[in-house]
Amino acid sequence: MALPQTYRKVMVTTLTTNFRKAIEFQTCQIPKLSANSVLVRNRYVGINASDVNFTAGKYTPGAALPLEIGFEAVGEIVAAGDKCKELIGTAVAHMSGGAFCEYQKLQSSRIFRIPEPKPEYLPLLVSGITAKLALEMKAQLKEGETVLVTAAAGGTGQFAVQLAKLAGCRVIGTCSTDKKVEFLKSIGCDRAINTSKEDLKLVLKDEFSKGVDVIYESIGGQTFDTCVNAMKLGGRLIVIGYISGYQDGTISSTSGRAAAALPIKLLMKSASVNGFFLMHYPQKWKSTFDELVEIHSKGEAKSFVDNGMNRTEGKLEGIESIPDAVDYMYSRKSIGKVFVDMFPDLTAKL
């Protein structure tokens, strides 16, 4: 297959949570391949809330600029080294730094094979693997427990809801619109709370007065404090993010008093708060991804993606739309995993 001589990629050139100000688009030569490396055409790239943490340098302290950015992609192998030529044409997914690029050189050992290059496999990567491992390793779910998922209509929330239901749990999900309420109901959420209209604290007090067993928390701030107070005896809260503070750089609870009270609250409930950061468990990525692909192929969990369906400007297409995709994700209008179609002309031919 004929390859272009150059490709474009996104590079972080300034450290700031303002994604647009942080990045530049660069044109690079198609790289030469070593014996065990492959060239992947990244057809679809996933957008994550933590992209702005990366542009702020929070994951790479002290690293010299410029930095490659992007955590995940789905595509196909268009060239390969001498020892893996048979991989040419293979549909793949990968979780590799620098995924915000049109073509990417990777070691053949870093790819995950998939049946076909569809965007529906993107949510099974960072979002799905985070949900599965966090719930298995930190939550230790038991059948019949009550699970609260915050930002439940997002990329990772959708899987936390479905995996908790598969485990036989009752699931509460928070979201921000009536449309998302209907979406959460469609994937099995027992109680969807539109926090734009309902007070989360009051709903939990009135409808779940005995408390919640497990909380999958990604918002932070006041939501985190409310969730801590809602835990029952022996409750487990897993922090997988604090999206409310990503763009403005704040990470604390709503007040120093709330943070100071946390130890006594945990003590009096024999409860626990655990953090889960996916980058600490690379040895589990491939096996977990394969398990999610199987669950998805059996129809036991659905994978929802959003290419800008609620944007007045239209679909997110081409590498230039990556900053728009980040803005869209933070607009609270998206449902499921936000992604960019890097080669819309190829998609149109399908």
Beta bridge partners of 231: 212
When pLDDT is cut at 50, 70 and 90, the band that residue 254 belongs to is low
Listed range (7-11, 242-246, 306-310) with the worst mean pLDDT: 242-246
Q: How far apart, in whole angstroms, are the C-alpha atoms of residue 107 and residue 122?
A: 19
Give domain limits for the chain.
6-117+304-348, 127-277
For residue 213, the model assigns a pLDDT of 98
For residue 129, the model assigns a pLDDT of 98
Structure tokens at 299: 């129809």
Comparing C-alpha atoms, which of 133, 89, 315, 99 is closest to residue 238?
A: 133
Check pLDDT > 70 for residue 192: yes
Q: Is 127 exposed, middle or buried, given 0-12, 13-18 or 19+ CB atoms closer than 10 A?
A: buried
For residue 250, the model assigns a pLDDT of 67
Check pLDDT > 70 for residue 255: no
Is residue 15 a contact partner of residue 22, using CB atoms and an 8 Å limit?
yes
Is residue 180 a contact partner of residue 155, using CB atoms and an 8 Å limit?
no
What pTM was estimated for this model as a whole? 0.94
CATH superfamily for 6-117+304-348 is: Medium-chain alcohol dehydrogenases, catalytic domain (3.90.180.10)
For residue 349, the model assigns a pLDDT of 76
Tens of pLDDT, residues 260-272: 789 999 999 999 9
Find out if CATH 1.10.1740.10 is the number for domain 127-277. Answer: no
Check pLDDT > 60 for residue 98: yes
Check pLDDT > 90 for residue 244: no
Q: Which amino acid is residue 242, in one-letter code?
A: Y
Is residue 219 a contact partner of residue 146, using CB atoms and an 8 Å limit?
no
Comparing C-alpha atoms, which of 238, 266, 268 is closest to residue 160?
A: 238
Tens of pLDDT, residues 125-170: 999 999 999 999 999 999 999 999 999 999 999 999 999 999 999 9
Q: How far apart, in whole angstroms, are the C-alpha atoms of residue 145 and residue 212?
A: 8
